[in-house]
Structure 1
């Protein structure tokens, strides 16, 4: 009951994204600073320095390192600003690039030096930055080269080099110098010492004047890059110098207005040119839009009112662009939310890694609106609170997120929970505060600990202003993780479905299934991740060593063979990144619901996918069957066939963590695996096959068993196993192989071995011809040395009806005396009979009675008959009928009739177990 009430309370402030216009505040601050802090913040900061040792330490170190440069400029006023990377002599106004590489600069000569453009879009560089003291002042010559260090030679000698060899080091150099000037501007604001103002103003004036007279780069290839370039970087989302310049200007505003009055229009013009290009370029439909919005918002906050500028483009104009206005490559916050958030689930339309970033960006905007504009963005866009509340759905029982798409799985970011609490406190929303406080304490028990000291604080201006101490309501107790996740959760806008039987880190099971819908997705068909014994044992491979710009990403990590899926004819593929290849949810149990529902002993899903390259139909039935408080197993039935026949082969891939893999016949006999060159690019297959090595193969129609072992000698010695049983079929080959390391988990702390240095253990089953009437039928069970397999045997049976060629029948015998007969049919209109059991459904589980318990499950069907028991429904229903301690309970998605030992009872729709009066 507690779970239900918690959910109902929160529903009162959940809502969907709103397309309504967000009004601008009627009054906005007219004084500076106004972005990181306000004029009143000076006294508050001094009090903080007096009260907190960390603040005193940060201030003293900031002052000490900045005075190094004020001392240098006392002797040589241009010492720091002369080291800016500028077109000091050429005053170039135009920059030309070829795709992702700088080509040359030119154009008309500006009246002042202009800002030099960076070398490449990527970070790879043969030449690196010199130390600031070694930078050649006013470095510019007729060749357009820069004087940088040759990284390939001993002692990195400095030499003249074309900017295209320097990666993004030109940007980096200028950001460092601007950062020193920003720190000086802050110190001037705090101390009124003019030496800091002179240092800051010289750099700021030189750089911003150089921006004002420089134009947007031109791509000589006339390609996509033209829509991405910024004034200083190849991507408008990496205009890092702009953020630094905004803070610098904000703290130095009064000094500049007094000492550079004739330049204030140029500074504002530079900010506007910079921002107008960010609005004109970029990508509107994903995380880029929010990163761009951060720059636009910062400029909007620091500029004066519209009326102060001849073009009418000031503070209101740019803030309104973030809130309400949209261009072709820059959407408003509301339009992006309407596009990206599923109003029913709250899930953002990108993979988990990027979704977390986007939600965090939105949450930071919420905080900024509360702080700088005194406006409740959550009230205007209720979907934001729902999106934050939904993020725990990404979690495996070990509290790490799913790994599909371009994701590096890690622990869930809790910053957006903090932002929702702050928003609730700022706007008096008690239910929202209570919900997110309980959630934050659940996932981050250390939060709210008043005794926790602030240590190792970064020496940065923002350290004084980032966040006031979070005051959590001590009366709110930590929530339970089970209150925030669902037994089955389906998000169609990312083609993702998850099944759980609990959230116990050690004993619970979880399946994550994904297609390819949304942004930062892979070509993977119906891919799965499997959890067990504290780890994602069957993981997604990751992004690759060089992220999505690397060859390994293009050829392997983003392709079918790196995923736990089925590849057809060696050619299955489709566009990655922004992909539009989702699976179709045919049926599932339990229904996808809000969090807080009771976990069921059986979960299942039936998914359909059209593989476009081979024009193949694929279905995947997956289920969790719980057999005890700490035991259970996975069922996987994968059918695959080409629409028009002519199937060459279907390859079932499964990758698992571990250092060793054994593959034998199910009875333990040797398969006589032999080295092979099959599973290869040769034969016009995907390049990804070439990434498999140390391959061994056996042609066999026998049932097989694979065991993947994680050696836990460094973690207590309780080795972890994934046990896989697969039904044999004619014309089948089975393989063991090694794949590239599981890059997605290579950054994860506390793994049982060095993931980055261990190839991924891989099992492949190749079905020659079609794999529809001969589907891949598998049982998976995690176990450990101290918690051995609970399964005694796995066998298979055929239906008694002739003609059911694609029928899957599995018998799983557990050591506790339980016996499960599992039925899977591709056509629920047909019936399958075996030993007095009759099923007319997509899927069914029939257990024997043991210790007064029994489980019967009908999945998207109309009839289930076993001796003495019948379940009948007029339309397809999901029915779980369980006997517990001699009493029968039922969950049903549609009205049905149950007959037990001649006693008939009708059941209505129920999502919670109801006692049957029999």
Structure 2
């Protein structure tokens, strides 16, 4: 009985609502006017909106017919005394229809004209709501009327399940660019239409009644495009949901409105995920949308905004209380940043980004509506600090309608943890911020790799930071669909990884780029736990390179971050790789922004080898399906050494930065059957100037045979022109001809250090009677001072370590650090 009463009450509530109510209600107008009078930021938004709208209103009133005829009508089609259809927006490549990602300016022009005029109508409709001046409603209604008349002359395309109405080969783009604006215009000017406000018909050259029934059909068509087209399991459902929700709410029939709105809330189709399925990506507090950086926050922000819109429409839903983890996800990207503020990059992700403070404010408002105290306390101080520091300035009409000063006196800063993980991307990151608090003195790196929408076939990849820049870089991406994006950016060769038998590739999954996820074996400190040492951290990860049938490799990577002073430190990378196939070989790749790579070791005998990486350069390429793996045919100026067994030292020079000259020095312990190649790889996207237009110096080390007992081992030390590198020597530690670790001697600004860094697979044992070392475990560092006296012992993971007369036993689940 109570359920029936509740449903009846909800129905009555929905029927009684007077428009507008999608973004704002009539009853809220006085509060908004008061904000405009009393809050400078609100007045700025209003004046900006008014200025833009008044320019267009004046142009319209001078000649309404000429103004509306700027819309992209196709006058060559249709009868003389009726509205013609619009010109279609299409992109053609080699005679084939494509989506509009890479459309030319000429191809995009019809869409641009429509989008501009619909935005004008939306601006004017909001000005009508604020001012009640009917001149704005007259302009908005005339544009919406003209659009309605013409758009209904077109047939909805069913092209590959992704067709549109005006963009017949990209309905996904149409709902994002056009579909969501129409219902908002209608909602704002509905009071004008309801009292028989007139609209101008350029064909009849007179004012007419607005055709409500016709525009309602337009709303249903755009809602249909979201529900019945497209695909699920990606951000596409999120990006189409705005058009779906707004068009559903624009429907005047309550039953129809509720039916279409259910496709956002609970009713899933084979082409559209509803909110209850989207929310599964946020199973645990702190989970994020499982794509690359620009999509994960963008998606969460859009979902948050729609939750707020629907919650305002029907507060009884309490969507914030139903799905709080969506809101908790919003600030997570602020934790995946280097000391200089740039973003950790994986897949198609960007290097730069900004916190979506407007989304934070939407989340705060939703939390306030649903009495979620923890979320209010999380977002309030972040917003207060952002506004006070000038990082966030309210600019959108939604801010004018929804937001107000936050009554909270808390302040907070985001404290970046020593380690963190991006679980869906396989990323394990480490950072060590200096006590100097200078970004240039911070150290940070990560290991990662996984398959996802917009992910790359990257293998077990790393990035390394030093001296205020991301130096060891992931290539990133530019425009979709281009040869370099499809056959380099997305493939193994664009990443700091290992290519096996020249054949590492993705297979299956999203656009046939599927790879396995990098798995964590061990790390210290674990995420959320206190570090045992202020100077050391490490991670050990594994990866199966088994896509296609020519790599078939098992891999393991240990990345350690070791600080030696407040301004110095180094990275140790140990990459093990072995194939199950005969005649195996492995190539270790490292890309570093810079001008050149200089090998300081003599006797390598480099010679030009232009054909070394060209075997697959002419392989068949089918967009989003078949690639020229592994992508290294893009390497230029290829020079390869003779086989070389001894230790190697090399340095990347980066001299053209505006700030200062930087270097990344590499120490590579020698092993048999090694060849070294230096190449110019393609430009790394979003690099600091001028490296965003220069090739990327890259080193490739080839190991013939397995690289497990004799892994790739590289010590990386960043330094600048005002410093000298601190590492004086690197010597490998072996037992029975099997690699076990390194002896590294450093002269820091304040002291001389000798460090024995032991890097083994889990539960392995290393014994050296001459050095007096016994270690059973994964990772440990023994540090001696200038007099070779014991300074400290660090055990990242291990059972037992003995150094001369010191013996430490620890539970393998715990780490250890002690100074002497």
TM-score (norm 1): 0.76
Offset, 1:243: 2.4
Question: Aligned match of 1:477 in 401, 411, 422?
Answer: 411
Shift of 1:697: 2.3
Say which of 643, 656, 660 aligns to 2:592.
656
1:854 aligns with 2:788: no
Q: 1:363 aligns to what SS in structure 2?
A: helix
What is the CA-CA distance between 1:212 and the residue it aligns to? 4.1
Matched, 1:252 2:189: yes
Aligned equivalents of 1:235, 1:595: Cα separation in 2 = 47
Tell me the SS of whatever aligns to 1:329: coil
Matches of 2:45 and 2:353, distance apart in 1: 29
Q: Is the 8 A contact 2:349 2:477 kept in 1?
A: yes
Q: Out of 44, 61, 65, which is 1:54 matched to?
A: 44
Matched, 1:27 2:10: no
Partner of 2:563: 626
Say what the alpha-carbon RMSD is for the aligned residues.
3.3
Residue matched to 2:760: 825
Query: 1:343 & 1:62 partners in 2: Cα distance?
Result: 44
The alpha-carbon deviation at position 762 of structure 1 amounts to 1.0
Supply the distance in 2 between the matched residues of 1:238 and 1:637 (Cα, whole angstroms): 48
Partners of 1:812 and 1:279 lie apart in 2 by: 61
- Separation in 1, partners of 2:311, 2:158: 39
Q: Secondary structure at the match of 1:564?
A: coil
> In the alignment, is the contact (CA less than 8 A) between 2:156 and 2:163 conserved in 1?
no
1:706 aligns with 2:650: yes
Matched, 1:643 2:580: yes
Pick one of 216, 226, 233 that aligns with 1:268.
216
Q: Distance in 2 between matches of 1:670 and 1:168?
A: 57
Structure 1 contact 400–410 (Cα < 8 Å) conserved: yes
Unaligned runs of 5+ in 1: 1-20, 93-108, 129-165, 220-224, 307-311, 887-918
Instruction: Flag the 1:66–1:43 CA change in 2: closer, same or farther, 3 A.
Output: farther
Structure 2 Cα separation of the partners of residues 272 and 294 of structure 1 = 14
Asked whether 1:321 is paired with 2:263, we answer yes
Alignment check: 8 A CA contact 1:588 1:603 kept:
no
Q: Is the 8 A contact 1:188 1:196 kept in 2?
A: yes
Once residues 796 and 432 of structure 1 are traced to their aligned partners in structure 2, the CA distance between those partners, rounded to angstroms, is 51
Cα drift, residue 702 of structure 1: 1.8
CA distance in 2, matches of 1:300, 1:317: 8
Give the counterpart of 1:351 among 253, 276, 292: 292
Determine the structure 1 residue equivalent to 2:245. Answer: 297
SS of 2:818's partner is: strand
Seen in structure 2, the aligned counterparts of structure 1 residues 587 and 849 have a Cα distance that, compared at 3 Å, is: farther
Deviation at 1:677, TM superposition (A): 1.7
Which whole-Å CA distance do the structure 1 matches of 2:502 and 2:668 have between them? 21
- For 1:177-326, what aligned pairs fall within 5 Å after superposition? 177-189=117-129, 195-212=135-152, 214-219=154-159, 225-227=160-162, 229=164, 232=167, 234-239=170-175, 240-259=177-196, 263-306=211-254, 312-314=255-257, 316-326=258-268
| CA shift in 2, pair 1:236/1:263, >3 Å | same
**Residue 609 of structure 2 is aligned with which of 667, 676, 680?**
676
Please give the secondary structure, in 2, of the residue aligned with 1:780: strand
CA distance in 2, matches of 1:859, 1:55: 54
1:180-212 CA-partner distances (Å, limit 9, x unpaired) = 333444455555555544443333223224444
Shift of 1:447: 4.8
**Of residues 506, 519, 522 in structure 2, which corresponds to 1:574?**
506
1:755 aligns with 2:691: yes
Aligned to 1:38: 25
Distance 1:358-1:198 versus aligned 2 partners, 3 A rule = closer
Tell me the TM-score normalized by structure 2: 0.85
CA distance in 1 between counterparts of 2:134 and 2:56 reads 13
Q: CA 1:89 to 1:709, structure 2 compared with 1: closer, same or farther past 3 Å?
A: closer
Helix, strand or coil at the partner of 1:520: coil
Partner of residue 304 from structure 2, selected from 363, 367, 371: 363
Distance 1:629 1:443, change over 3 A: farther
Equivalent residue of 1:326, what SS? coil
Cα distance change of structure 1 residues 691 and 372 upon mapping to structure 2, 3 Å threshold: same
Structure 2 distance, partners of 1:217, 1:472, is 51
Q: Gapped runs of 5+ residues in structure 2? A: 1-6, 92-98, 197-207, 618-627
Question: How far apart in 1 are the matches of 2:432 and 2:768?
Answer: 29
Larger CA deviation: 508-517 vs 189-198 = 189-198
For the residue of structure 2 that corresponds to 1:354, the secondary structure is helix
1:518-917 to 2 correspondence within 5 Å?
Answer: 518-544=452-478, 546=479, 548-575=480-507, 580-594=514-528, 600-612=534-546, 613=548, 614-647=551-584, 649-665=585-601, 669=602, 671-682=604-615, 686=629, 688-699=631-642, 700-711=644-655, 714-715=658-659, 717=660, 719-743=661-685, 745-746=686-687, 751=688, 753-799=689-735, 802=736, 805=738, 807-815=739-747, 816-826=751-761, 828-833=763-768, 835-848=771-784, 854-872=791-809, 876-883=812-819, 886=820
TM-superposition CA deviations, 1:637-694 (whole Å, max 9, x none):
11112113321x21111111222321122xxx46343333254213778462221112
Measure the CA separation in 1 of the matches of 2:645 and 2:367.
62
**SS of the residue aligned with 2:713?**
strand
What is the match of residue 175 of structure 1? 115
Contact in 1 for aligned 2:784/2:792 (Cα 8 Å): yes
CA contact (8 A) 2:321 2:370 kept: no
Query: CA 1:361–1:56 in structure 2 vs 1: closer, same or farther (change >3 Å)?
Result: closer
Superposition deviation, residue 258 in structure 1: 4.5
Distance 1:197 1:477 in 2: 43
Distance in 2 separating the partners of 1:693 and 1:202: 58
